[in-house]
Amino acid sequence: CFVKGAVTLNTSVYDFIFFYHSFSKNKRAKTILIIKSWVANNCKQLVGLLRKKNVVVKKLSAAANTVARDQSLSEPEKHFQVIHTLEVFQKELNESENLVFQAMQSLQRALQGDYKDVVNIKESSRQRLEALRQAAIKEEQEYVELVAAEKHQQEAVKSALAQNKTLSILDGILEDVKRAADRLEEEIEEHAFDNNKQMKGVNVEAVLRVENEEKGGKLKNTSKQKEVEDDLGLSMLIDSQNNQYVLTKPRDSTMPRTDHHFIKDLVSVVMLSLPCGWICSLVGLPPMFGYIISGVLLGPSGLNSIRSMVQVETLGELGVFFTLFVVGLEFSPERLRKVWKTSVQGSCCLSLLMVGAGLLWGQFLHIQPTQTVFISTCLSLSSTPLVSRFLAGGGKVDKEGDLDYSSVLLGMLVMQDVQLGLFIAVMPTLIQAQSGDLDGFLYGGLRVLGLLAQVLLSLAAVLLLCSLLRSYVIGQYCKRLHAESKDTKEILLLGITAFVFFMLTVTELLDVSMELGCFLAGALLSSQGHMVTSEVMGCIEPVRDFLAIIFFASIGLHVFPTFVLYELTFLIVLTLTLVIMKFLMAVLVLSVILPQNSRHIRWIVSAGLAQVSEFSFVLGSQARRAGIISREVYLLVLSVTTLSLLLAPLLWRVTTHRWVARM
């Protein structure tokens, strides 16, 4: 009765708020008598409900004392009867009482506020929403406790029946197995919800749980499928921001589960990438064009059939790692020592020129410096996986002492990957500058200098580790792998992959980019000679090619042809301006830092740098969430990056056709 009255009063409060605000000022005076009558009647009801509640609580206490004095019940039975029956009911009464007083407080705030004040109404709505979320958590906990109580009662009935009959040998074995299974579930259950709900930064959100898949625009509502979905836990959650979530770790880890959405997505990407890549090869275009097109067709701007976008992109990131590992295999330590100085100087000077040009344009267009710094730095990066596919083995040296263009180009790209890690670390400072916090910005400037020193120390530590590994570990490691892999290539593949992941983990722990770790892993293995390099290359290349297909298809998921068509002229002009500007800046920088006998390669290296890295997708999304750039700027960066990647093969082919022939 109390719960029903509380819900009725709570609903009446919100109805009255709407009723009160719907009147004009001259009509409100006529409702004073109605208001007084309404308040008096509901106050009488509230007082009566509170009295009934006190009576019920006393009865509950008496019932709990009776159970405690009952000698026929065991201690676990007393515990469950008191905790899961009496106390749950008492908590339900207390929560209902809290709802009543919360409703009265909401009514008081609404009557004191102005119905035209949207901010006040929004704050009241936010407070009610937060209260509902907390109430939902408590109600969920009470429901779980009641389910546990029901299960315990069923077990008690079964136990009572079992005591009245003699158990067979099989029944006894099954009963022991059941108790062991119960203990196993208690041991492996993490209670993640209860452990994390009170942590700082944890928010309670309302989500939709989609149990059934759509087929032909209709939901398959068969009870059998729903039971399967409930058992397997493969349903999808959708929050109020339209983000979609899938299961990552089940409560019952004893049952194997498969994310069939992810499997279907991979099947779709591979099946469509074959004809698209084949057609591009037939017309003389790089196959990667076809892979990107397959991502466009399957992505949000196409059929929108990819359900596990994050998982597909994560798998594609492995393609970047193995691509850079293969680049390192073709990049011997001798070549690395030859171009490291040019690579560091060239990448840093090019980034500074891009930032300087961005600040000038920002001053002319009245754009905030933080936005121009971010956009310029983002656009100064170039795509390492794309260029490594262009090189396909690298350039050759014509004369002793000359630098080949592939070494210089790959060295500059690897240094840009290092700058990417530093830029991600500096992003919080840009956020503080965007908010106008001067003290925070000055502190952030000192923090940037500290981060720069930290990156330099980390690079020194990584190089020292590589030197030690090359001197004492790599040789024996390769010999051992070769000896163990004579009969099967599994050990060789596993050993190579483990070494790549080891270097990746080391550079990540030292706050250097993971891509650099993959590149150094390949360079270390290449120091063991041509035989080791050939064996490793033959083993790892198929894995690299497959993951690279997924990577280029994941790029296509972020291509939006409709937006490009709407702003086609502006985007083409913007992309051509950016490509030409990066090309000319790279030519200028390389003309200064390259030795006199190697300056003829500056045109090819500049052509390889005249596009935007795919990592601008990641940086742009982080900046948009942080409020550094707007949605419009984010879409422009996304579109310009995509068009520059599509234009890069044409520019590379034209430049190499002219200058490689001359060299």
Mean pLDDT of 165-189: 69
What pLDDT band is residue 279 in, cutting at 50, 70 and 90? very high
User: What is the pLDDT at residue 421?
Assistant: 64
| pLDDT tens figures, 429-466 | 556 555 555 455 556 567 667 767 777 788 888 889 98
Residues 81/67, Cβ–Cβ less than 8 Å: yes
Share of the chain above pLDDT 70, in %: 70
Please name the residues in contact with 191: beta carbons below 8 A apart, sequence gap of 6 or more: none
- Reading the block at residue 200, the tokens are 């700082």
Side chain identity at residue 146, one-letter code: L
Share of the chain above pLDDT 90, in %: 12
**DSSP sequence for 599-639:** GGGHHHHHHHHSS--TTHHHHHHHHHHHTSS-HHHHHHHHH
| pLDDT tens figures, 519-554 | 889 888 988 888 888 889 888 989 999 998 998 898
What pLDDT band is residue 336 in, cutting at 50, 70 and 90? low
Q: How far does Cα 562 stand from its chain's mean position?
A: 25
Mean pLDDT of 217-226: 43
Mean pLDDT of 110-124: 66
User: What is the pLDDT at residue 227?
Assistant: 43
**More confident position, 206 or 4:** 206
User: What is the pLDDT at residue 433?
Assistant: 56
Location of structure tokens 């099947």: 267
Biggest alpha carbon distance in the chain? 103
- Reading the block at residue 566, the tokens are 């709407």
Residue 320 has pLDDT above 70, yes or no: yes
At residue 660, what are phi and psi to the nearest 5 degrees?
-65, -40
Count Cβ atoms within 10 A of the Cβ of residue 438 and give its class: 0-12 exposed, 13-18 middle, 19 or more buried.
exposed
| pLDDT tens figures, 600-637 | 788 889 999 999 987 787 777 767 777 778 888 888 88
Count Cβ atoms within 10 A of the Cβ of residue 492 and give its class: 0-12 exposed, 13-18 middle, 19 or more buried.
buried
Residues 28/35, Cβ–Cβ less than 8 Å: no
- Reading the block at residue 15, the tokens are 């109805």
Residue-averaged pLDDT of the chain: 76
Mean pLDDT of 48-63: 75
Count Cβ atoms within 10 A of the Cβ of residue 424 and give its class: 0-12 exposed, 13-18 middle, 19 or more buried.
middle
Q: Look at 169-173, 295-299, 591-595 and tell me which has the smallest mean pLDDT.
A: 169-173
| pLDDT tens figures, 564-590 | 888 889 999 999 999 999 999 999 999
**DSSP sequence for 15-63:** HHHHHHHTS-HHHHGGGHHHHHHHHHHHHHHHHHHHHHHHHHHHHHHHH
- What does pTM read for this prediction? 0.69
User: What is the pLDDT at residue 110?
Assistant: 66
Rounded alpha-carbon distances, angstroms, from residue 150 to 105, 186, 465, 606: 37, 18, 60, 72
Residue 303 has pLDDT above 50, yes or no: yes
CA–CA separation, 549 and 282 (whole Å)? 18
| Three-state helix/strand/coil letters over 60-126 | HHHHHHHHHHCCCCCHHHHHHHHHHHHHHHHHHHHHHHHHHHHHHHHHHHHHHCCCCCHHHHHHHHH
**More confident position, 631 or 174:** 631
User: What is the pLDDT at residue 584?
Assistant: 93
Nearest to 328 by CA among 473, 476, 537, 479: 537
